Structure 1
Amino acid sequence: MSDSTTNLLLPYLMAAQAQKHVTHNEALRLLDGLVQLSVKSRQMTAAPASPTDGDRYIVASGATGGWAGWDLNVALWTDGAWLRLPPREGWRAWVEDEAVLLVRNGADWQPVIPTGLDDLTRLGIGMAASTGAPFSAKLNSALWTALYAADGGSGDLTQTLNRETGTDDAGLILQTGFSTRALIGMFGSDQLRIAVSSDGSNFSDALGVDPATGIANQPNLPRFKAYTNYDNYVATDSWTTLGINVADYNDQGCFDAGTNRFVAPVAGTYLFGASLLYKINANTSARMRGRLVLNGSTEIRGSFGEISSAHVSGATALWLQTLVSLDADDTVALQGTFRAADGYFAADHTTFWGTKIG
């Protein structure tokens, strides 16, 4: 029969043993040193000069003096002497001067939470990582902060997304319920791209930046330029919506040639302009007027203009331009009239244009 326990090597009380209290107290002393193991340090190769009863250390490799040959063992100072506690597989020890929890693994002590995470194949935080997403995290907020100069850093914070070739992707994919709703980055080219989707399949580009020039393009910005292809007769003192019925371009279909008006697809700030070319009916003393109207009736402040001198048919022109804040589905139309004598707003050169700018 063994005279000690298998794992902690605590001495047994034997039959007919004298001074059983000595053996019992030795077992208690070992338990006191091993249970809830917390060591002062694991950096020392020689015993400290003035230990306190109960102090424990993991002896560093290359131990000398009274600790010689105790490398990576636990040294316990108790009852005025150092006691060697040979570690067993799976022992855990808290290292006080490093605030790290170690576990005995084979012939060494290793952090329970590894301090070196090099060459991991997967890492999951709050969820299991997968082959398709080897780094996965399930959480409600995340923070990246620079290492300040006072803490030994530079104060900078940068993040690099590197792709293999110019036809691969590098960017952020923003999703709702794992269905993509926005892309920000370089996708399939060197152009910086911002695109959105309402269904996760069809995408509309909001912004593209040319890598060679830095020129930004907004391919889906609401904008148009249109003109009338016939001479619009307008009587005196009669504001009339001009027949702007042909679009040179019409992004987002924002101009309705059937009703001769712009319809705002989204709320925002818009810039509008117009050119009105005079064509004589019978009297060059006609006074040509123009304006832009909101929702069919309200004159937009800053859009009114008039040419009051004698006109030259086919040459005298009036230009209008203004900014206006619109709600979705608001309409803007170009109107004209004459004072003193009637006339025409000439075909092909009477134009109306607009674009969203904010």
Structure 2
Amino acid sequence: MADISSSLSMPFIQPSQAQKHVTHNEALRILDVVTQLGVAADDQTTPPTSPADGTRYIIDAGGVNEWANHEGEVALFENGVWRFFVPRAGWRAYVINRDALVVYDGAEWIDLDSPELEEIETFGLGMNSLPDTPFSAKLNATLWTALYRADGGNGSLLKTLNKEASADDNGFVFQQDFQTRALLGLFGSDNLRLATTPDGTNFVDALIADNATGIVDQPRLPRFKGVTNFDNFCPAGTWTKIAINDLEYNEQAVFDAATNQFIVPVDGTYQLGALLTFKADSSTAARMGAQLLINGVTPISGSQVENTAAHFNGRTTISIQTLASLSAGSTVELHGIMRSQPGYFMADRTDFWGFKVG
């Protein structure tokens, strides 16, 4: 049978032992010293001259007099003499004179807010740290607040994320059930980038801010501009859909040249416009008008224009600019009319354009 306990080295009462109370009291004394351990100080090397009975210290390096050769041990002053206890890894103590909490790591006592804790390799809060994320936390809310001036701070809060080289990544990855859905930061360059993905593999850029100029690009903004490459004939008094068949740009393929329609990709507010140029058929007495129609039926408010002044071949124009709240899947068409006499909407000088603004 062992004589002492494995953790605190408390003596065991042996069979047929005389004066069992002595052993029992010694075990209680050890418990009294190390349980809820609080020490007066941990930065002294010389025993105090008049310590109170029961006072405890953690002896600093270089102990002298009665503390010589007891570096790092817990010293207890009791009944006029010093007793010493060798700590084991995991012991914790509250240091009264420094208002600090320390822990013994098996070799030395360290502050729980010591710079040495900065050297820990992994840290998990509410979960085990993941292999590629040494710091991992599982929680429902976080709060970061500036240190106020009244508390010794400057009232500001700055968080710095740093990367090594321009081609590296630096930013935030937003996930759903650990599947990436968006990125925000400096990914692959020094331009600020907001990108989304439906599958964690194929990314599309919603915003890119150039780091040198500050100019913001919206690569996926729904937008189009097209012209007609032939003279569109319009009979007198008949609304005619104008064929916009030569596209200068067509982001996300929102304009269908086969049907001459802008197809609204998502709900939102769109700015739309058109410029129409007159070309005479047999008479310049024709008078131009134009409008934008939703689904080929409903005129968009503010899009109906007409020029009743004298027309000059290749020089007289009318224009449309308007905002419209449109629903996904709706179509918008450009229609024109000639009053009194037939005429043409001139090739290469009649266009239709639009883009999403909100």
TM-score scaled to structure 2, two decimals?
Answer: 0.81
Tell me which residue corresponds to 1:105: 106
Unaligned ranges ≥5, structure 2: none
1:149 is aligned to 2:149: yes
- Check 1:297–1:157 CA distance in 2 against 1; reply closer, same or farther (3 A cut): same
What is the rounded CA distance, in whole Å, between the counterparts of 2:193 and 2:21 in structure 1?
A: 81
SS in 2 for 1:207: strand
Q: Which residue of 2 aligns with 1:234?
A: 234
Partners of 1:226 and 1:353 within 8 A in 2: yes
Deviation of 1:94 after TM superposition, in Å, equals 2.6
Give the RMSD, CA atoms, in angstroms.
3.6
CA-CA distance at 1:29 after TM superposition: 3.9
- Aligned counterparts of 1:28 and 1:281: Cα–Cα separation in 2: 115
Question: Contact 2:276–2:345 at 8 Å: present in 1 too?
Answer: yes
Give the corresponding residue for 1:221.
221
Partners of 1:206 and 1:114 lie apart in 2 by: 44
2:273 equivalent to 1:273? yes
- The answer (yes or no) to whether the contact 1:4–1:12 under 8 Å persists in 2 is no
- Structure 2 CA distance for partners of 1:222 and 1:26, relative to 1, 3 Å: closer
Aligned to 1:297: 297
Question: CA 1:9/1:119 → structure 2, altered by over 3 Å: closer, same or farther?
Answer: closer
What is residue 171 of structure 1 aligned with on the other side?
171
**Matching residue of 2:195:** 195
Indicate the residue corresponding to 1:264 in structure 2: 264
Q: Is the 8 A contact 1:47 1:66 kept in 2?
A: no
Contact 1:70–1:84 under 8 Å retained in 2: no
- In 1, the alpha carbon distance for the partners of 2:124 and 2:5 equals 40
2: distance between equivalents of 1:205 and 1:324? 25
Quote the Cα distance in structure 1 between the aligned partners of 2:222 and 2:160: 34
Which whole-Å CA distance do the structure 2 matches of 1:269 and 1:313 have between them?
Answer: 35
Shift of 1:274: 0.4
Q: Deviations over 1:183-229 (max 9, x none)?
A: 33333333333222222222222222333333222222211111222
Indicate the percent of aligned positions where both proteins have the same amino acid: 43
Cα deviation, residue 133, structure 1: 3.7
Which letter does structure 1 place at the counterpart of 2:292?
Answer: L
Distance in 2 (alpha carbons) for counterparts of 1:336 and 1:112: 79
Structure 1 pair 102/308, CA: closer, same or farther in 2 (3 Å)? Answer: same
Deviations 1:284-316 (A, max 9, x none): 333321111222222111222111111112210
**Is 1:233–1:345's contact at 8 Å kept on the other side of the alignment?**
yes
1:322 aligns with 2:307: no
The structural deviation recorded for 1:88 is: 3.9
| Higher mean C-alpha displacement, 208-217 vs 268-277 | 208-217
Q: Does 1:357 align with 2:346?
A: no
In 1, the alpha carbon distance for the partners of 2:168 and 2:105 equals: 45
Q: What is the number of residues matched between the two proteins?
A: 352
Q: Displacement, 1:127?
A: 1.6
**Residue identity in the other structure for 1:276:** L
Residue segments in structure 1 that go unaligned for 5+ positions in a row: none
Structure 1's 199 and 129: CA in aligned 2 closer, same or farther, altered over 3 A? closer
Equivalent residues in 2 for 1:1-358, closer than 5 Å: 8=9, 25=25, 28-43=28-43, 47=48, 51=52, 54-61=54-61, 72-76=72-76, 78=78, 81=80, 83-90=82-89, 92-95=91-94, 97=96, 98-103=99-104, 105-106=106-107, 108-111=108-111, 116-125=116-125, 126-130=127-131, 132-154=132-154, 155-164=156-165, 166-358=166-358
- What is the SS of the residue equivalent to 1:117? helix
> Structure 1-normalised TM-score?
0.81
Structure 2 CA distance for partners of 1:222 and 1:75, relative to 1, 3 Å: same
Q: Please give the alpha-carbon distance, in whole angstroms, between the structure 1 residues aligned to 2:23 and 2:199.
A: 76
Distance 2:9 2:17 in 1: 23
